[in-house]
Amino acid sequence: MQRTARPVVALAATFSLAALAACSSGSAETTSVATAAAGGVNLASVCPASIGIQTDWNPESEHGHLYELLGTDYKIDSGNKSVTGPLMSSGKATGITITIQSGGPAIGFQTVSSQLYANPAITLGYVSTDEAISVSDKTPSVAVFAPLEKNPQMIMWDPATYPDVKTIADLGKTAAVVRYFGGAAYMDYLIGSNIIPKSHTDGGYDGTPASFVAAGGKDAQQGFASAEPYIYQNEIKAWAKPVKYQLVHDAGFPTYAAAVSVKKSRLTELTPCLKKLVPVLQKAEVDFFADPAPAEKLILELVTAYNTGWVYSQGVADFSVKTMKDQGLVGNGSDSTIGNFEPDRVQKMLDIVTPIYKAQGNAIATGLKATDLYTNDFIDTSIGLPKS
């Protein structure tokens, strides 16, 4: 799943990067690197002076662990849809800067994998397991941290129309047409596994609610569990009622979405940095879910400043955080550690999507192994979300 396939429910107009003027804000006009604070993590001796991280969509709560890395001294570049500031760890400077670059419309809906290779300022980027496999021959990457335990991607339906439907498999036995963005590997999996009949799918989803609303509950649609259920019930007046859904993950497609990844050819070079940086990323996620308000405030400020047409409310941001925790979209998995990868899951994804991508002519590396796609070498196993 590529996050560039994110629904664009609130995109109000065609995006034009050149038409947007740059602006800056924050508590300071400078983003000079602060000296690493006493007792903090010092990254300056092992990391590049500036780390660039490419996300897969506009700022949102799913990216909260990244925005947690910024304090109050940051600079917003509304033209490039990025924000830069000293990289902080639990409120203490690490001695380097970070730039968080938005994805989706900000990069012309290109893949994050392509940006790792096209933009030398990008050190790390969000690359899902299926995307990494699909481009493993031409633009290989290695995932080093998994901020999401489960992919938020889901299929949703109207519970009033389909009261007996509990799963995507149940939905496949009805007459519902499932709308989705064409080319999605998860849908090829659902079709190939006879979970949803191909004749019941429509790859022409345009990201707006118009078709779903017009169908009056007869059709189903892709979405993200951390956003659409709230949006459709509370912000789309033409619908204004609940939807039900099942995660694609729980239907048997366990990709690691938005996995923080590095260009494969830079892994050795960046290893000393990653040994210290990845635990900082883990701790930032723990800190974000302990107190999401400061990062949420920045996220909402960035959405306004970037002005891509994407609308993101405080209500959605709060719903996203709660849903991620309640539905296990974030968590420690089968152990007590946040952000590590389960080998069997990566292998399962390789087994699922390799025949799909080969049939599509994608550039999959010859002899690709699951261990080529990720590493747990930089994970601090002592860092995890507290037990609720």
Cβ–Cβ under 8 Å, residues 189 and 353: yes
Q: Strands of the chain (E only): list them.
A: 50-54, 75-77, 82-89, 92-101, 124-126, 141-145, 153-157, 178-179, 201-202, 220-224, 244-247, 260-263
- Average per-residue pLDDT for the chain: 91
User: What pLDDT is stored for residue 28 in this prediction?
Assistant: 38
CB contact at 8 A, 256 and 122: no
pLDDT interval class at 387 (50, 70, 90): confident
* % of the chain beyond a pLDDT of 70: 90
Kindly indicate whether the domain formed by 153-251 is annotated with CATH number 3.30.70.
Answer: no
Q: Which of 385, 144, 113, 85 is nearest to 271 (CA)?
A: 144
Beta bridge partners of 262: 124, 142
Q: What is the mean pLDDT of residues 188-197?
A: 96
In the beta sheet, which residues pair with residue 157?
A: 244
Q: What is the model's pLDDT at position 118?
A: 96
Rounded to an integer, what distance in angstroms lies between the CA atom of residue 140 and that of residue 268?
14
Residues in the chain: 388
Per-residue b or e along 252-291, where b marks 16 or more CB atoms closer than 10 Å to that residue's CB: ebbbbbbbbbbbbebbeebeebbebbbbbbbbbbbbbbee
Reading phi first (left if > 0) and then psi (alpha if -120 to 50, else beta), residue 98 is in beta
C-alpha separations of 141 from 145, 153, 169, 187, 271 in Å: 12, 22, 33, 24, 14
Kindly tell me if the per-residue pLDDT of 177 is higher than 50.
yes
Tokens standing for 249?
């993950």
Domain ranges of the chain: 3-149+256-372, 153-251
Please give the pLDDT value at position 10. 42
Question: Torsion angle of alpha carbons 10, 15, 19, 24, nearest 10°?
Answer: 50
Does 172 have pLDDT greater than 90? yes
- Beta bridge partners, 201, equal 178
In this structure, of 16-25, 48-57, 327-336, the range with the lowest mean pLDDT score is 16-25
Rounded to the nearest 10 degrees, the angle between the axes of helix 267-290 and helix 314-326 is 100
With cut-offs at 50, 70 and 90, classify the pLDDT of residue 38: low
Q: What was the pLDDT predicted at 32?
A: 44
Q: What is the pLDDT of residue 29?
A: 35
Tens digit of each residue's pLDDT (9 = 90 or more) over 283-313: 999 999 999 999 999 999 999 999 999 999 9
pLDDT band at residue 6 using 50, 70 and 90 as cut-offs: low
Residue 350 has pLDDT above 60, yes or no: yes
pLDDT at 34: 55
Give the side-chain half-sphere CA count within 13 A for 284: 29
Tokens 């800190």 belong to residue: 287
Retrieve residue 281's tokens: 């990323």
**Cα atoms in the 13 Å half-sphere on the side-chain side of 40:** 20
What is the Cα–Cα distance from 38 to 59, expressed in whole angstroms? 31
The CATH architecture to which 3-149+256-372 belongs is: 3-Layer(aba) Sandwich (3.40)
Domain 3-149+256-372 shares a fold with domain 153-251: yes
Predicted pLDDT of residue 13: 32
| End-to-end CA separation in angstroms for the chain | 29
Contacts of 115 (CB under 8 A, 6+ apart): 54, 101, 103, 107, 122, 125
pLDDT of residue 147: 98
What is the Cα–Cα distance from 297 to 239, expressed in whole angstroms? 28
pTM attached to this predicted model: 0.91
pLDDT band at 19 (very low <50, low <70, confident <90, very high): very low
pLDDT digits (tens, 9 = 90+) for 54-113: 999 999 999 999 999 999 999 999 999 999 999 999 999 999 999 999 999 999 999 999
Q: Give tens-digit pLDDT for 224-259.
A: 999 999 999 999 999 999 999 999 999 999 999 999
Q: What pLDDT score does 196 carry?
A: 97
pLDDT of residue 39: 66
Q: Which two tokens stand for residue 174?
A: 């009805």
- Name the CA dihedral angle for 50, 287, 331, 113, rounded to a multiple of 10 degrees: -20
